[in-house]
Amino acid sequence: MTDSKPRPVQITDLARWKADGRRFAMLTAYDYTTASLLDQAGIPILLVGDSLGGTMLGHRLRDGGPDTLPVTLEDMLSHAAAVARGAHHALLIGDLPFLSYHLGLDEATRSAGRMLKESGMQAVKLEGGGPMLEVVAHLTARGIPVMGHLGLTPQRVHAMGGLRVQGRGEGAAAQLRQEVLGLAQAGAFSVVLEGLPAQLAAELTVASPIATIGIGAGANCDGQVLVIHDMLGLTVGPVPKFVRRFAELGEATIAAATSFRDAVESGEYPSAQFSYE
């Protein structure tokens, strides 16, 4: 019997895509319905990002920007499980939130393990190089695939002095070169490069043995990721320069809700067509 369903994406596919020079897309998803739609659209990788702190939970920094720091592991597990129920083809990555992998290797293993065991994720993502390389090595040695995240790492927003482009200056660039290689050596299967000069991200991608996925890092990464609310035009408030709005669903939602309100207030809805005999 032949099965016409596409084979689910595996972490090993990313190495092949990089070797073949095949660019790929990743989007964030936080709920069942969106995950199901993105899966139907053939998006090969879905990230349940801790950006849900801003998009789904409304956490804000004092400057009004999105805040990921208050997001808990329980928040992530709940949204990740909903995404896993909606997507059957895409590779599913669950972000480890702030303070769920910083206190020690056991804590990191428990948090990451719960993402796989309780939420049905196939891999986790965590931010940082340096001391985090030990965490990456520990998790990957235990069979938990890890996607790294370097450059603008929102969990370090206060240390960075805001959500700012990183990697400017030779010292910062050299450190990023080391960290990309360090992540690969520690066993990470891919790395998100966020908020970097395009030229630097391109160099890192050529030098990197693992697939790079850019966001605000120019055109020459192996893959590209966007926050779903940003690219659908749903984000409340300004969006970063690198965001292209592929739809205006925020405006469409306001227009639809306004039509509904008017139809209810005028008595036009529900008409006989929308009523039971």
194 is catalytic: yes
Candidates 143, 146, 111; CA nearest to 128 is: 146
Q: Angle between the 32-40 and 73-86 helix axes, to the nearest 10 degrees?
A: 40
Single out the residue of 43, 57, 132, 227 in contact with ligand KIV (rule: CB under 6 A).
227
Tokens 């719960």 found at: 114
| φ and ψ of 148, to 5 deg | -85, 175
Q: How far is the CB of 216 from ligand KIV (least distance, A)?
A: 9
- In the three-class reduction of DSSP (H, G, I as helix; E, B as strand; rest coil), residue 245 is classed as coil
Q: How far is the CB of 128 from ligand KIV (least distance, A)?
A: 12
Asked if 73 touches ligand KIV (CB under 6 A), the answer is: no
Of the ranges 42-50, 136-144, 203-211, 235-243, which one interacts with ligand KIV (CB under 6 A)? 42-50
Check if the beta carbon of residue 193 is closer than 8 Å to that of residue 217. Answer: yes
Single out the residue of 215, 217, 231, 234 in contact with ligand KIV (rule: CB under 6 A).
215
Contacts of 142 (CB under 8 A, 6+ apart): 109, 113
* Residue 122 to residues 31, 47, 202, 210, Cα–Cα distance (Å): 17, 10, 27, 17
- The residue among 238 and 267 lying less far from ligand KIV, judged by its C-beta, is 238
Tokens 């949204």 found at: 79
Comparing every residue's Cβ against ligand KIV, the nearest one is 49
Single out the residue of 39, 50, 67, 179 in contact with ligand KIV (rule: CB under 6 A).
50
The type of residue at 52 is: L
Asked if 179 touches ligand KIV (CB under 6 A), the answer is: no
Single out the residue of 39, 67, 75, 95 in contact with ligand KIV (rule: CB under 6 A).
95
Q: How far is the CB of 50 from ligand KIV (least distance, A)?
A: 5
CA angle (160, 104, 164) in 5-degree steps? 10
CA distance 112 to 143: 10
Q: Which residues pair with 49 in a beta bridge?
A: none
Of the ranges 13-21, 47-55, 98-106, 237-245, which one interacts with ligand KIV (CB under 6 A)? 47-55
Query: Which of the residues 243 through 272 are near ligand KIV (CB under 6 A)?
Result: none
Candidates 11, 8, 40, 5; CA nearest to 223 is: 11
Query: Which of the residues 131 through 170 are near ligand KIV (CB under 6 A)?
Result: 149
Q: How far is the CB of 47 from ligand KIV (least distance, A)?
A: 6
Single out the residue of 24, 38, 49, 157 in contact with ligand KIV (rule: CB under 6 A).
49
- The residue among 53 and 197 lying less far from ligand KIV, judged by its C-beta, is 53
Task: Exactly one of 194, 248, 251, 268 is catalytic; name it.
Answer: 194
CA distance 180 to 185: 9
Residues that bind ligand KIV in the complex, under the rule CB under 6 A: 28, 47, 49-51, 95, 149, 192, 194, 215, 225, 227
Please give the positions annotated as active site: 194
